[in-house]
Structure 1
């Protein structure tokens, strides 16, 4: 693993790989390799990518088979990429930096931008906290290295606080939600669809959103080995995702209903998180790379990675995004 990650985080990542490999059983699989057909091991976060493709009929006419593995957050997905348990998966800009600093051999092959409102620091509805500055001395639950972790650090530093002015507790989304509702933490930093779910259920309200703090970037990432061995498959898969995204914005109600059904959340939460994200796939251009470099530099500034990281080599620009 890369020395840019401090020893405790390298140990955590190493310990997680075996657990992820065992736990990330396929949530859905097309028939296993039949008559020599390639198999794409596709990672997903809370079923969102699979739901998008299925709702848009984007999996018809495949020349390869897909083995899906679902993860609750980016951190375990990154561990699965590191362990080659999956070939590709959707991952935010901040967790991708964390994975790369840990030595994961992975590249971003497609990029999208979205409104960052739903990446947010949440508090209970009855909380007396009003601004990010009020987080001083408070406890915040989030995933280590996640976009929730990132928005926490961005929010507190923008408010003139230091990272050590808050107590960050690293918990998976389900545990973080429980900790917030039970009052064992003061805030929960998370992302969609968890933010929309919390709002719709009235379990939490947004204290600080990522709007204006984050560049709103996320990626489809793939391992170096998968890019070398399955490039045409990955290219086809990416184009299907892009086309499905375009379909979804032409069919908001139908897609929101399908998303709610497939990933098991209330329809109003599915529609809320979808409509406000306004996600669009974009070319990996100089602006994308510069924004990603800014994320890496910020992680270095706050001590989450120990050495500078040049992000240019972590993109594969050979996967075109069709208009």
Structure 2
């Protein structure tokens, strides 16, 4: 199933294959610019490793939908990917994650200090790429998105007996952390292609909803995914003490929840043994089905947003990305 999904993603991105190759060239150049061996190795690992390139793909598909193929779009696509990569490097430190995409996390392979500095360097790389567009409005869009992503780390959902309240906190957190960056790809692309205000609004709504669907699916895969496919250990979020939608939905329906999940709701990190118990409990409940419906709801919102745009095969590809986001297994 995993290999089939990868082939499907490749087929979705076929119309922008040349553009994605140009993005890879720009990212490779960014890594090669450093003459410091350690930094070069870290950047090559981060920027050259396996990745979906979802955000660059969105940027290039929006451009294709408007018949725009420029260096600005390539630099924008590379800039959003550099920003995304920077946040992942720092996130893995904050979450004490041991691996990323099937490889040791940067702070594990090197050190916390090197990971912090490499993440900072990638933020600067993203800024440099965006500055090449000479469009102040996009710089402001980037800075606002970084603010939202940083704010998300200060939101710690805690279950106080009311599932609705903690669910709202969770949705706010993933909106700021994940959906904002996907929406940025759309917002900035709308500026480059000179979309009308109504089209720009539709693109923003599409990106935000797609990001929400994508993150909820990620959180579901943390419970039901295959580590050999996802590249991450099952229950990694639970062990890190991260409160995600499957656990929230479990607490909403279980009158006598497992003690370890109750501890998770109070902000505790779980041991590997406790995480295994929690995973089995969540899988055995209706929580995964309920969380999946939430992901599907946001996916439907994304499709409705695309319907507000002019008809174009590139936008059909964006619709296929929505399906991929919720049906994938990695």
Q: TM-score range by the shorter chain?
A: 0.3 to 0.5
| Structure with higher RCO (Cα < 8 A, 6+ apart) | 1
Normalized against structure 2, the TM-score is what?
0.32
Higher strand residue share? 1
Normalized against structure 1, the TM-score is what?
0.32
Higher helix residue share? 2
